[in-house]
Copies of this chain bind each other. A is one copy, B any other.
Amino acid sequence: MSTVSTDVARILINGTWQNATPQSTFHATDPNHNSQLPQSFPVSTWEDCEAALDAASKAATELRRFPASKIADFLELYADKIEAAKDTLVEAAFAETGLARSPRLADVELPRTANQLRAAAKTCRSGNWALPTIDTQTGIRSCYRPLGPVCVFGPNNFPFAFGSVSGGDFAAAIAAGNPVIGKANSSHPETTRLFAELAQEAVNETGLPPATVQLIYRTSHADGERLVSDPRVGATGYTGSRSAGLTLKAAADRAGKPIYLELSSVNPVVITPGALNERGEAIVDDFITSVLMGTGQFCTNPGMVMLVEGDQTESFIGAVKERFASTQSGTLLSPAVAKSLGKSVTTLTSLGAELLTGGGEPEPDRCAYANTLMRIDGKKFLSDPEGFQTEAFGNASVIVVAKDVAELCDVIDHLEGNLTGCIYSANDDSEEGDVDQITFALEPKVGRILNDKMPTGVAVSPAMNHGGPYPATGHPGFTAVGVPASLLRFGKLTSFDNIRSNRLPALLQDAAPTDETMRLIDGQWRAGTV
């Protein structure tokens, strides 16, 4: 892998690292010292996007001819290379994000990233993600097919596992047979560049089309909108801020191009009186671990806790407040995150949230903000549900104290769509009536509902849904994490009606392509020949 250059970094277009067309440059920040990192990165003009789109379009056509096993080989080789380059990747990400080298980057996020790629390879190889369906009576067969070039806009908070050329959207798009145009997150461009180098090596070694993986670092907003709505694009995956995401969504929607967005979520956690009476201290521990982990910078960070008024609730709040105040605040990803967090706290307190601890201004010498706990009652929340759902991304949380379960359910009824919703309740069945009401209110608002655990763990598992109703995401039927389901976002449903057998895709021919391939044959899921 090449070392950091003092020149402007190159973009990866059609298999070649080349200079971007002249435009401005930017630098990432070392959040540990609030200082500019040396490497400069180009802001691309439309010319670069045009070159990437043209090459991706050709690669998409070529990839449609490739056997799935070759694409799976690429994903597995890339995973191996990522593991072999662990130290370099971890150092780069630490410098750009401030996330802990260990366990976070080296021992959690990097293995997860490699495993995601391998899981995607496995379903790519079997074809199971594509829901192959065969009706022998009507002579019709169907499956999901590659959709075309996928643009991936990665977020700031997972430089590996959601990275534009390494993360879940990338793995899903490639495994579904599409080339990827990665747009690096501006807070960790060097990390992304290193991944693209590894990916490009793996592309070459497995003989995939050179434009299977391409990388640009940044564009103007206008060019971003043009990119996601370009006729050559199949779809876009975006994880990031709500305002930028909605602008891209509007552009893609107008062009009829699918765009999958992960935008914002306060991830409500309900804790009943029975749970607090029974195991209040343990729940304080659970909550503190979850809400301050990674300095609260998880999409599923528990940003809102809902309680019913009472002594046990006051004890819980007191303990959390004490822990917030006595725990050193972690480093935030970038100056922008620190600034935005401060702004959200100001919004919430100016609307009337009581500041229990924290608040104030970001630290000057590093990207950091005091652990911040706010409190409102249910009535106050209901006076401005939209305002009090302002996401405070980072180490902050809002506690909503309802006067009773009915008011708590009313608060839930006024929630926007969220990624997750948790319910902690008494271990015996003494609260089942209340919990039933709470569950019934909460389930339609969230993509994943949890019992007796915090939302921050997102297992890569077939039943995982990392999605949810708008505005958590752009569509309530899709997940960004979880294999094979996450691949469906980048597939085109296609029926083959009376198609001569030699012309059918391998996945739909009478003989199954692999022993693992399961197909819905005449209404029954099974392996084997038709």
Contacts and interface: CB of A to CB of B under 8 A. Distances in A.
Contacts of A493: 447, 465, 467, 476-479, 485
A439 interface: yes
A465 B495 contact: yes
A471 B65 CA distance: 26
B435 A503 contact: yes
Interface stretch (A199-207, A265-273, A287-295, A448-456): A448-456
A302 to B, nearest CB: 14
A142 B67 CA distance: 31
B459 A138 contact: yes
A464 B498 contact: no
Interface string A123-160: 00000000001110110111011011000000000000
Contact of A138 (B463, B467, B498): B463
Given A444-B148, A451-B503, A497-B448, A142 B463 contact: yes
Contacts of A103: none
Interface in A73-129: none
A217 interface: no
Contacts of A518: 524-525
Count the copies: 2
Interface stretch (A32-40, A249-257, A309-317): A249-257
A469 interface: yes
A137 B461 contact: yes
Nearest to A254: B250
Given A135-B463, A140-B461, A450-B498, A525 B523 contact: no
A450 B253 contact: no
Contacts of A489: 477
A327 interface: no
Interface of A: prevailing SS: mixed
Contacts of A453: 497-498
A520 interface: yes
A462 interface: yes
Interface string A7-35: 00000000000000000000000000000
Contacts of A451: 497-500, 503
B475 A494 contact: no
A439 B518 CA distance: 26
A435 B453 CA distance: 56
Nearest to A420: B497
B495 A464 contact: yes
A492 to B, nearest CB: 4
A64 interface: yes
Contacts of A478: 493
Contacts of A448: 494-497
Nearest to A144: B477
A488 interface: yes
Interface string A279-299: 000000000000000000000
B141 A463 contact: yes
Q: Among the interface residues A147, A435, A500, which one has the most CB atoms of the partner chain B within 10 A?
A: A500
A494 B464 contact: no
Q: Among the interface residues A461, A462, A493, which one has the most CB atoms of the partner chain B within 10 A?
A: A493
Contacts of A439: 503
A58 to B, nearest CB: 12
Contacts of A61: 440
Contacts of A440: 61, 64-65
Q: Among the interface residues A464, A477, A488, which one has the most CB atoms of the partner chain B within 10 A?
A: A477
A249 B258 contact: no
Contacts of A256: 417, 469-471, 474
A361 interface: no
Contacts of A496: 448-449
A485 B142 CA distance: 11
Contact of A145 (B432, B443, B459, B471): B443
A526 interface: yes
A139 B19 CA distance: 49
A237 interface: no
Contact of A134 (B140, B463, B497, B520): B463
Interface string A515-530: 0001010011110000
A476 B494 CA distance: 9
11 contacts: A64-B444, A140-B459, A142-B463, A147-B476, A250-B254, A256-B470, A258-B477, A448-B497, A451-B499, A453-B498, A476-B493
Given A476-B492, A476-B493, 5 more contacts: A142-B464, A142-B465, A250-B253, A449-B497, A450-B498
Q: Please name the 6 residue pairs, one residue from A and one from B, whose CB atoms are nearest each other, closest first.
A: A256-B470, A525-B525, A465-B495, A448-B495, A253-B253, A142-B463
